[in-house]
């Protein structure tokens, strides 16, 4: 038996901009075990709920994550709306769906670039971020912000998208859909990509369920679970079906994300067809009371917001469980037995977002 | 990727030119409705202080006597909340960002000329 060594990985690492630290126990080049430590960028945003009133906290919730910011704000708003028994107008729900799916596309394009970059496919990184920029432009035109949308509010949305603008956007989106599909095809059919990803970082269906994997990590192992199936924010009306792959390796997880991007384009199109004119918000009065669990599907998986209110304008407790946090135990299982050079690739296929895992 | 596909991409990229904008030689065009910096039309302002009360980052300070409206540009998150709540609609968001600074100063708008 060869000698065991511990190799530290992160929080500063050339291929991984996310501050997660892993102690990799290796035997020669083989990883035997990975021991994680997180907590480098804890900001205490959940505690802030005691100082910001429930309306202002939407701005804080949006800043929990810089990539899926809109869905964080949206989930918080939906939790408060459930507490206050507010019925959000249809048009607002459709607009929320469009922005959620736009943020999913831009997040997956960002992930595609980073994953390609993790094994030196730098031109793919450049091209996928170029396409992401077009999506960000659409987001900026419709919400006013590129990363922080600032368009979700309790009781509806802050901005409407006029009909003429919507047509113009849809015209662009049809072109982008083809571009993204072509780019993804190049990535997924590439021989090197297949070589680096097939059979690497295996996570069985049983492990995925018992370790509580969420999002593409879970669906890549063949479990058809997606919180959008619960039909929040209009997903029940556009005929949503979850996307699954059965292999459970890095390639399957990539395939899930690639197919999800195409599905998001489709969903936006269907949503625009179904949308009717109407109010985009309802006036909310009073203070929330009671407690509620709200779940939503972020690009990385299921996010849970637990809100406990006491009838004043300040909530007494807010707890956020983000998808990356849930995906760390399955990641450690997937890392055991892999080659040292495959560690960055496996870590990137969970699409880590440590800043939202630590809040 | 096949050789034909590769050649297609190369030819396309040769004739389409760069994707990036040549900033600062070509000025940046912000889309309509982009959230930049807050501007005030002082003649319309009644100094009610609602914007100060609602501002989530406490960037705005309004004083009634002397009549003045101040904003800390580095605290402002351009969320548009003050513009929404302003009863006189004297606040508006510019599409351009606030200019870059190296010191934390506040922009003060005063109704009376500063002595």
Q: How far is B2 from chain A (nearest CA, A)?
A: 10
- Report yes or no: B19 at the A interface, CB cutoff 8 Å: yes
Measured distance CA(A124)–CA(A116) in Å, rounded: 6
At residue A232, does pLDDT exceed 90? no
- Per-chain mean pLDDT for chain A: 88
| A157: β partners | A152
- Per-chain mean pLDDT for chain B: 84
Task: Please give the residue of chain B at the shortest CA–CA distance from A144.
Answer: B34
For residues A89-121, one letter each, b for 16 or more C-beta atoms within 10 angstroms of the residue's C-beta and e for the rest, the string is bbbbbbbbbbbbbbbbbbbbbbbbbbbbbbbeb
* Token duo for residue B55: 């501002």
Average pLDDT over residues B66-80: 87
Average pLDDT over residues A153-166: 87
Interface test with A, best of B9, B33, B50 (most A CBs within 10 A): B33
At residue B115, does pLDDT exceed 60? no
Determine the angle formed by the axes of helices A90-118 and A122-143, rounding to 10 degrees: 160
Q: Do B33 and A141 touch (CB under 8 A)?
A: yes
CA-based nearest residue to A149, from A79, A77, A233, A83? A77
B84 backbone dihedrals φ, ψ, rounded to 5°: -65, -40
Measured distance CA(A154)–CA(A92) in Å, rounded: 11
* Token duo for residue B73: 């540009």
CB neighbour class for A83 (10 Å; exposed up to 12, middle 13-18, buried from 19): buried
Fold exhibited by the domain A42-358 = Cytochrome-c3 Hydrogenase; chain B (1.10.645)
Q: How far is A330 from chain B (nearest CA, A)?
A: 33
State the DSSP code for A196. H
Q: Do B1 and A56 touch (CB under 8 A)?
A: no
Q: Which residues of A touch B29 (CB under 8 A)?
A: none
pTM: 0.89
CA-based nearest residue to A135, from A102, A111, A177? A102
Interface test with A, best of B9, B30, B36, B80 (most A CBs within 10 A): B80
CA angle, A116 as apex, A112 and A122 as ends, to 5°? 120
State the DSSP code for A52. S
> Among partner residues A59, A141, A159, which is closest to B79 by beta-carbon distance?
A59
CA-based nearest residue to B55, from B84, B92, B81, B94? B81
Higher per-residue pLDDT: A106 or A118: A106
- Report yes or no: B78 at the A interface, CB cutoff 8 Å: yes
CA-based nearest residue to A350, from A221, A247, A253? A253
| A27: β partners | A4, A30
Q: Which residues of A touch B56 (CB under 8 A)?
A: 52, 56, 59-60
Higher per-residue pLDDT: A345 or A18: A345
Task: Please give the residue of chain A at the shortest CA–CA distance from B93.
Answer: A144
Residues A40-71 pLDDT 10s: 888 888 888 888 888 888 998 888 888 888 99
Residues of A with CB under 8 A from a CB of B: 52, 56, 59-60, 130, 133, 137, 140-142, 144-145, 148, 150, 158-159, 186, 189-190
Q: What are the structural domain ranges in chain A?
A: 42-358
Fold exhibited by the domain B31-110 = Alpha-Beta Plaits (3.30.70)
* Token duo for residue A89: 């107008």
């Amino acid at each position: 038996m060869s000698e065991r060594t511990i190799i530290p990985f992160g929080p500063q690492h050339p291929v991984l901009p996310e501050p997660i630290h892993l102690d990799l126990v290796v035997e020669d080049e083989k990883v035997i075990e990975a021991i994680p430590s997180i907590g480098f960028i804890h900001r205490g945003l959940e505690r802030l709920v005691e100082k910001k009133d429930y309306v202002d906290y939407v701005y804080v919730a949006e800043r929990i994550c810089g990539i899926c910011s809109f869905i964080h704000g949206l989930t918080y708003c939906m939790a408060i709306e459930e507490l206050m028994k507010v019925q959000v107008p249809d048009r607002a729900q459709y607009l929320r769906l469009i922005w959620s799916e736009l943020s999913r596309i831009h997040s997956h394009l960002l992930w595609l670039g980073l994953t390609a970059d993790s094994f030196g496919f730098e031109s793919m990184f450049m091209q996928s971020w170029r396409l992401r920029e077009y999506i960000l432009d659409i987001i900026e035109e419709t919400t006013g912000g590129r990363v922080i949308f600032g368009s979700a509010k309790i009781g509806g949305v802050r901005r409407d998208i006029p009909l003429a603008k919507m047509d113009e956007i849809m015209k662009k989106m049809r072109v982008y859909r083809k571009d993204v599909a072509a780019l993804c095809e190049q990535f997924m059919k590439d021989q090197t990509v297949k070589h680096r990803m097939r059979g690497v970082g295996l996570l069985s269906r049983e492990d995925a369920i018992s370790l509580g994997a969420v999002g593409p990590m879970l669906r890549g192992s063949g479990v058809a679970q997606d919180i959008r199936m619960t039909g929040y924010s209009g997903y029940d009306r556009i005929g949503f079906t979850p996307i699954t792959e059965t292999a459970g390796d890095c390639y399957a997880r990539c395939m899930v994300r690639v197919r999800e991007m195409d599905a998001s384009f489709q969903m936006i199109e269907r949503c625009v067809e179904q949308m009717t004119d109407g109010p985009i918000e309802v006036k909310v009065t009073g203070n929330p009371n009671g407690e509620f669990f709200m779940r939503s599907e972020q690009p990385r998986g299921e996010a849970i917001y637990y809100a406990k209110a006491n009838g004043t304008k300040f909530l007494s407790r807010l707890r956020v469980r983000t998808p990356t946090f849930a995906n760390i135990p399955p990641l450690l299982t997937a890392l055991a037995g892999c080659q040292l050079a495959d560690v960055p690739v496996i870590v990137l296929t969970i699409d880590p977002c440590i800043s939202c895992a630590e809040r | 990727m096949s050789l034909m596909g590769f050649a297609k991409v190369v030819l396309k990229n040769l004739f389409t030119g760069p994707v990036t904008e040549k900033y600062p030689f070509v000025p940046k065009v912000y889309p309509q409705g982009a959230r930049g910096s807050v501007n005030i039309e002082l003649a319309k302002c009644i100094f009610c202080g609602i914007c100060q009360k609602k501002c989530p980052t406490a960037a705005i300070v309004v004083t009634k006597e002397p009549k003045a409206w101040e904003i800390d540009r580095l605290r402002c998150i351009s969320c548009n909340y003050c513009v929404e709540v302003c009863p006189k609609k004297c606040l508006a968001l510019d599409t351009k960002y606030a200019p870059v600074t190296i010191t934390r100063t506040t922009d003060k708008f005063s109704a009376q000329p500063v002595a």
